[in-house]
Amino acid sequence: MSDQISIFKYVHKSQTVLRWTITLLITLAISLAFATMNLSGQISSSKKILNALSPYIMTQVEVNDRIEINRILNSVTKAEDSKLVLVKDGKVFSTTDATLELDLPFSAPLIKLQLLDGLFTNNEIIVINTLKRNDSSSASELYLYSPLTPIIKKTVGIMAITILTSILISILVSFRTRRALRKALQPLSQLHDEIRNLKSNSTDASMPIKIKELEDIRQTIISTRDELEIANEKIAKQKAKELNAESYKRLIHDLHNPVAALRQMVRIQTSPDVDDESKQEALESVPVIAEEILQQVTAAKKNLENESNNFDEVDLRNPPISGKLSLQILNN
């Protein structure tokens, strides 16, 4: 059949989907873990910065020293590549982004997700720290904006590296699997040869197979071959007996007329009522009849030998092509 494939190709093909599924799952798991670690680290770092700045910024807010606050906020954002916004009474008191926003109402960012104590917009992570003394009724808020793009780039990079690494590992595993399959299929080839040898008289010893299930099959094949040989010998002996009996019957039937004629010739010679001429003819006929009997015995012996030899060629493991050919071999 044209749609049949080898067991090696079948196993290799069936494992392809599994290999790619595992590759994707590993890639997603590693990328998710890396992204989570990066986000958690970024948020933790932002919290530490805000906690460190809050006491000093709070003091400067109380004295309305906006210049000092701007200097501090700008010095921090230069190193962190981020943006700081100080909001007081709902208005922008200080910012590192654009001075045009100062003293304008603060526009709260559109939050898409809140995760790991951080607020997420489309492209930024926001961490908020409230500035308030225990004895004060007013409060200020300090916003730290960090870009998401670097984390996304790193995550995509890790994902690409993971995919390439997984593909290389998959190719290596596939190569080793193919080698293991080829090695595992060698015993099947041995079993195939064992089965083919059932049709022949080969008695060559085969090597044991280390795989238990395949070794059981090999032992079954060997025992079946031995049983076929025993059955073949039994049938050969039985048929030989039948051939011998049939040959003796034919010989007895063929010798009946010559022996009867020989007996008649002897009676003629010994009978006083027969003339001398008839006795002479009977005497001359005795060697001829005896020669005929000897030829028939010789022919019967030869036919018996030929029938025995022809039957020895019949093997249960390699039967004749048709029933007529079998009868021809057995009854030739």
Tens of each residue's pLDDT in the chain, 332 residues = 456 677 667 776 777 788 788 888 888 888 888 888 988 888 998 899 889 888 888 888 888 888 888 888 888 887 667 889 999 888 889 888 776 678 888 888 888 888 888 899 988 999 999 887 766 667 789 999 998 888 888 888 888 898 888 888 888 887 887 788 777 777 777 777 777 777 666 666 677 877 777 788 888 888 887 888 888 888 888 887 877 777 777 777 777 788 888 788 888 878 887 787 877 887 788 788 888 888 877 877 777 666 655 555 555 445 444 434 333 433 44
Q: Which structure tokens are listed for 258? A: 């010559």
Question: Do residues 312 and 302 make contact, with C-beta atoms less than 8 angstroms apart?
Answer: no
pLDDT digits (tens, 9 = 90+) for 126-144: 999 988 776 666 778 999 9
Q: Which structure tokens are listed for 332? A: 């030739």
* pLDDT score for 173: 81
Question: Do residues 38 and 155 make contact, with C-beta atoms less than 8 angstroms apart?
Answer: yes
All structural domains of the chain with their residue ranges = 7-165, 212-330
* pLDDT score for 142: 92
Q: How far apart are CA 165 and CA 23, in angstroms?
A: 9
* pLDDT score for 323: 39
DSSP string, 31-81: HHHHHHHHHHHHHHHHHHHHHHHHHHHHHHHHTT-HHHHHHHHHHHHHHHT
Q: How far apart are CA 211 and CA 137, in angstroms?
A: 83
Alpha helix segments (H runs only) across the chain = 7-62, 66-80, 149-196, 212-270, 276-312, 323-330
Q: Which structure tokens are listed for 219? A: 């032992």
pTM metric for this prediction: 0.53
Contacts of 91 (CB under 8 A, 6+ apart): 103, 104, 105, 106
Domain 7-165 in this protein, CATH class: alpha beta
Residues in the chain, how many? 332
* pLDDT score for 301: 75
